[in-house]
Amino acid sequence: MIRYEIGIVDTRTVIKTLLDDFGYDFRDYALTSFKRRLEQVILNNGLRDAEGLIMRLKNNPEFIDQFLYEVTPETTEMFRDPSFWRLIRDEVLPEVSRGASSKPRIWLAAFDSGEELYSLAIILKEMNILNNVQIYCNVLSEKTINKIKSGRLDPKDIEVNEANYQRLNGTNKYSQYYTVDGNIYTFDSSLVENVTFLKQTPLIDNEPGAVKLILFRNQAIYYNQLLQEKMFSKLSEVSVAGGFLALGVKETLENTNANNKFTVFNDNEKLYKRKTV
């Protein structure tokens, strides 16, 4: 595992280029993981170092989308934390979809590579309510939108995903949601045909209003505490009273200003409920 390591000064120079030349603000991303993401982009693209990355960004305007695609960590599993998804299916979605005059809104606010979205869509489909809700999905790059729409997710560890699905006690077979041709796995893209994709900046400035369920799992870990505060406050504003907010199981609203806007619905799964004002 000998690899190029980018220093803090060079990291800040890249961050400055991204802000000055493209208007993308990564200044309050968590330093350690962001450094590692930059190293990954440099490695993937055969760039020698931070200077090589900056030259590529400046000289190839179309490279920025590839950069945004690669700088976002992949979601590595379908149905990560099956107990979380069981809770969503058995307690949260029935409440979210009940008695609404217009389609209840679900916002996948983390930068997901498709796995969270397809996991959610499969559960909704198995509950026969996929078409009764409106899903909004944040994306940072056009390439991610195309990938998700085509269903060509990276299959990753298919055994892990299969095992997660089984722990979920789904009603079908996991394998019925994709086709395999050689090494290429194509998920059933009709699952996501009614999803509205929201192209975002790193600070997520384009939010839908009046959301009943927000999935924001394992995104805040990539922020520093300042940006965490800002994002949690933003999420509390777009959530309807009684709406749900899901964080990653090791993320918490504790010790943040948003804490008094929510009650804990399930502490193990870090599921919160927006208080009635």
With binding defined as CB under 8 A, does residue 119 bind another protein? Answer: no
Site for another protein in 224-253 (CB under 8 A): 224-225, 228, 248-252
| Count of other CB atoms within 10 angstroms of residue 39 | 18
Helix/strand/coil percentages in the chain, nearest 5: 45, 15, 35
Beta bridge partners of 146: none
End-to-end Cα separation, the chain, in angstroms: 52
With binding defined as CB under 8 A, does residue 81 bind another protein? Answer: yes
Of 32 and 190, which has the nearer Cβ to another protein? 32
Shortest spacing between CB 267 and another protein, in angstroms: 11
Q: How far apart are CA 176 and CA 113, in angstroms?
A: 20
Shortest spacing between CB 73 and another protein, in angstroms: 5
With binding defined as CB under 8 A, does residue 138 bind another protein? Answer: no
Site for another protein in 28-67 (CB under 8 A): 30-33, 36-37
Interface residue with another protein, options 10, 66, 73, 207 (CB under 8 A)? 73
Q: How many residues bind another protein (CB under 8 A)?
A: 33
Q: How far apart are CA 214 and CA 274, in angstroms?
A: 11
Of 124 and 251, which has the nearer Cβ to another protein? 251
Interface residue with another protein, options 221, 234, 264, 266 (CB under 8 A)? 221
| Count of other CB atoms within 10 angstroms of residue 2 | 4
CA 231 and chain centroid, separation: 14
Q: How far apart are CA 103 and CA 208, in angstroms?
A: 13
Which run of H or E residues covers position 198? Answer: strand 196-199
With binding defined as CB under 8 A, does residue 158 bind another protein? Answer: no
Q: Which residue has the tokens 């041709």?
A: 181
Per-residue binding letters, 250-269, with another protein (x by CB under 8 A): xxx-x-------------x-
Instruction: Give contact residues for another protein (rule: CB under 8 A).
Output: 1-2, 30-33, 36-37, 73-76, 80-82, 160, 163-164, 167, 218, 220-222, 224-225, 228, 248-252, 254, 268
